[in-house]
Amino acid sequence: MERPGQANLRLAARYFKLFVNRLAYTVQSPKPDRNGKHYYYRAKDGRRLSLETIHSHLDGQLTMGLYALNPKTQRSKWVAIDADYENALNDLLKLQWELSQDGVEAALEKSRRGAHLWIFAAKPLLARHCRIYIHNLARRLKVPVKGGAGLAEGIEVFPRQDELEPHEFGNGIRGPLGIHRAIKRRYWFYGADYKFEAQLDYLERLKKITEEEMAAFVDGLEMPQEFRPRPKVELPPYDPTRQEFRILDHVRPVRKRSGNYWARCPSCAEQGRDLGGDNLAVSVCDPRKYKCWAGCTKEMIRAAIGQPIRVRRAG
């Protein structure tokens, strides 16, 4: 007879096979900050994801976040579509139906404010192909994509990048079947009983996309222009005396953490979002570098504060 500990590790091993594409991971803070938010932090000392950690996630002792993209291969073993806006579930159901017409079986997972749609690969697929496929599918169905055409609301596609440098992590997403610390609730996949064995059985039965199928899906397609990676710009050394745009002249940081100032994103604020006032990260060492973790682009942020980025035209 299998001992309880062995059974737990067996479940964790099945979970690992489905979801883990990289051993780096994050952990959601068990206690909220003063604004009531539970942040995700990278594991201490570069700790690598283990079966014991996955068991702790499933057991509710911690909540981990997973990275989609492995920079060693530029591939992902799954695609997750996150939607948390009004009519989000309807959009995900449209995507799920259209995917089924391609023979792709997608699993719908409940989430705190909406849902996630998961697609699995037989073997890890190029992140660039995954993104081209889903972005073109969304465009065909007129499903909004966050950041596209200046949209502050819409689906988010994981992996969020086509490629990563070896030292980069990309964007993480809450590991399925764990407990969200903010409301102490576990979210399950539709389509199976709310038990771990049944959930994993269901996910393992889903048809997985092959490399050949994905190549056929994206044949002749390109990434929509607004979502193509921008060329990296090499900035000169930061000089605080130089006259140039300063985001810190337009926002008020609420804290300093992890080498960044954190402030309310102006673009999010226009939409009545980011009530905690800390979606925007601004580098302490080089304040020219800033990012909205809710997905707003720099163009959206600059437009929201009345300082649009100038477009240089040839000729």
Q: What is the mean pLDDT of residues 210-214?
A: 98
Q: What is the mean pLDDT of residues 6-20?
A: 91
Unique residue bearing structure tokens 């990563």: 164
**Mean pLDDT of the chain, nearest integer:** 88
Q: Where are the domains of the chain?
A: 4-227, 231-315
Give the residue with greater pLDDT, 207 vs 112. Answer: 207
Measured CA to CA, the distance from residue 304 to residue 313 in angstroms comes to 22
Instruction: Give the pLDDT confidence of 171-198 residue by residue, as tens digits.
Output: 899 999 999 888 889 999 999 999 999 9
Token duo for residue 160: 């969020």
Burial of 109 (0-12, 13-18, 19+ CB in 10 A): buried
Name the pTM for this structure. 0.77
Domain 4-227 has CATH 3.90.920.20: yes
Give the residue with greater pLDDT, 268 vs 133. Answer: 133
Q: What is the mean pLDDT of residues 272-299?
A: 83
Measured CA to CA, the distance from residue 79 to residue 106 in angstroms comes to 9
Instruction: Give the pLDDT confidence of 27-86 residue by residue, as tens digits.
Output: 988 887 777 778 788 877 678 999 999 999 999 999 999 999 999 999 999 999 999 988
Measured CA to CA, the distance from residue 135 to residue 207 in angstroms comes to 21
Measured CA to CA, the distance from residue 210 to residue 124 in angstroms comes to 9
Contacts of 308 (CB under 8 A, 6+ apart): 299, 302
**DSSP-derived 3-state class of residue 89:** helix
